[in-house]
Amino acid sequence: MKKHSVNLFKNIDKSWTLFLDRDGVINKRIPDNYVLEWNQFEFLHGVLEALKVFSSVFGKIIIVTNQQGIGKGYMTETDLLKIHSNMISEIEKFGGRVDAVYFSPFLKESNHHTRKPNVGMALQAKKDFPEIDLKKSVMAGDSLSDMEFGHRAGMCNILISDEAEIAKKNHEIVNYLFPDLKTFSEKFINLQ
């Protein structure tokens, strides 16, 4: 769309990083609630296949997720780390990978620097992996908060949604729209 060429997908190689939101992108959201334990975690259709494709395309795959359920006292950091450990294990069994997961446990009203749309998690990833170039990064998320995060960090933004109207109204921060990760990953299958 605006700042990225339509050939973006052809230009992506191992020097690029994929940032992913978690709830609503990798796993099903629980309406008005949080995924508090592994048995509540359900991968969305096609996500495991998509992550396998992305693993062969991107140099780094980073998950960035707001998890204020911790701040609200519904779960502990240990609970969340167990969920993420199981999630990564399942992704790896399917031939995919995740290089790191960053989470912000803080309440929305705190406006903590690590909580999206603030860019603290992107900066931490860059610190941990100096080879990450945020200008050669893609943020895929299902919320405007994710899009604002990617925009502030200088990334290309992909909205995972079937709400074309939201993308149109926010075209300055939404570069591409796909209904799910699997459809996004299919952009790369014929390029490999």
Tell me if residue 21 is catalytic: yes
Handedness of CA 93, 28, 138, 69 (dihedral sign): negative
Q: Which amino acid is at 152?
A: R
In terms of Cβ atoms closer than 10 Å to its own Cβ (0-12, 13-18, 19+), residue 170 is middle
Candidate list 23, 79, 99, 146, residue with the active-site label: 23
Alpha-carbon distance of 47 to 90, in angstroms, equals 11
Tell me which H or E stretch contains 169.
helix 164-169
Q: Structure tokens of 73?
A: 């006292």
Candidate list 13, 21, 142, 162, residue with the active-site label: 21
Residues catalogued as catalytic: 21, 23
